[in-house]
Amino acid sequence: MSQRFFASVAIGATLIVACVAGSATDVMAQAKKPEAKTAAKPAADAAPTQLGTFGNWSVYASDTANGRVCYALAQPKERLPANLNRDPAYLFVSTRPKENVRDEVSFVLGFAPKDGADGQISIGKANYSVSPKAQAQSFVAWLKDNKDNATVVELMKKQPQLSLKLTSKRGNALTDTYALAGFAQALDQVKKACP
């Protein structure tokens, strides 16, 4: 792998930790009744540590104010249409044991999606809806139905690729295709780092 890839992944990993920490807060706020705020400031998040590379996938762990976060991530192998400029994109599967979150599938898009429009992932013969939203100065998408995470992760272990289709804010139909070689091994490493 090239140095450019690893530099891009390191930048993406830092962004992802920010997105995951933010998403965890958003999800927790929606799921729980408001609690009394404490005056103590949360501890600073530690920089992500790379734990390994497995095919197209890298594994990271980071200690955050919300507990340890572990995740596997990959960049798209193909982005269509190829002539459009976009920021780097990532598919990642994260685990946050302290928040009881395991194998959460999400995407850093690398572009602004069309307002109010959902996207779709295709894996094997199955399709699932994703919902994008602005997060940590970027755009992130999660599976629309949280219950689909386990099924999608199982398919990712068995299928050669996953495609994400979304319409950009400018009206372009965009497709990012991710190779899944090494994903199963990467997920095993995530489970070891965040049991």
Q: In order of start, what are the domains of the chain with their CATH numbers?
A: 3-193 (2.60.40.1880)
First to last CA, the chain: 29
Amino acid at 127: N
- In this prediction, residue 175 has a pLDDT band, given cuts at 50, 70 and 90, of very high
H/E segment holding residue 29: helix 3-31
Higher pLDDT, 44 or 82: 82
Q: Does the pLDDT at position 169 exceed 80?
A: yes
Across the range 119-145, mean pLDDT stands at 95
Which pLDDT tens digit goes with each residue over 42-59? 456 789 999 999 999 999
- In this prediction, residue 146 has a pLDDT band, given cuts at 50, 70 and 90, of very high
Q: How many CB atoms lie within 10 A of CB 45?
A: 16
Confidence at residue 37, expressed as pLDDT on a 0 to 100 scale: 33
Token pair, residue 192, equals 């070891």
Percent of the chain with pLDDT over 90: 74
Confidence at residue 46, expressed as pLDDT on a 0 to 100 scale: 80
Q: Does the pLDDT at position 11 exceed 60?
A: no
Confidence at residue 136, expressed as pLDDT on a 0 to 100 scale: 80
Confidence at residue 80, expressed as pLDDT on a 0 to 100 scale: 98
- In this prediction, residue 32 has a pLDDT band, given cuts at 50, 70 and 90, of very low
Is the distance from CB of 80 to CB of 174 less than 8 angstroms?
A: yes
Distance from C-alpha of 36 to C-alpha of 148, rounded to nearest angstrom:
32
Confidence at residue 55, expressed as pLDDT on a 0 to 100 scale: 96
Q: State the pTM of this model.
A: 0.79
- In this prediction, residue 171 has a pLDDT band, given cuts at 50, 70 and 90, of very high
Is the distance from CB of 167 to CB of 84 less than 8 angstroms?
A: no
Across the range 15-39, mean pLDDT stands at 38
Across the range 13-19, mean pLDDT stands at 49
Q: Does the pLDDT at position 61 exceed 90?
A: yes
Instruction: Give how far the C-alpha of residue 111 lies from the chain's centroid of Cα atoms, to the nearest Å.
Output: 14
Is the distance from CB of 178 to CB of 164 less than 8 angstroms?
A: yes
Mean pLDDT of the chain: 83
* Angle between helical axes of 149-158 and 183-193 (0-180°, round to 10): 130
Residue listed under structure tokens 């990467």: 186
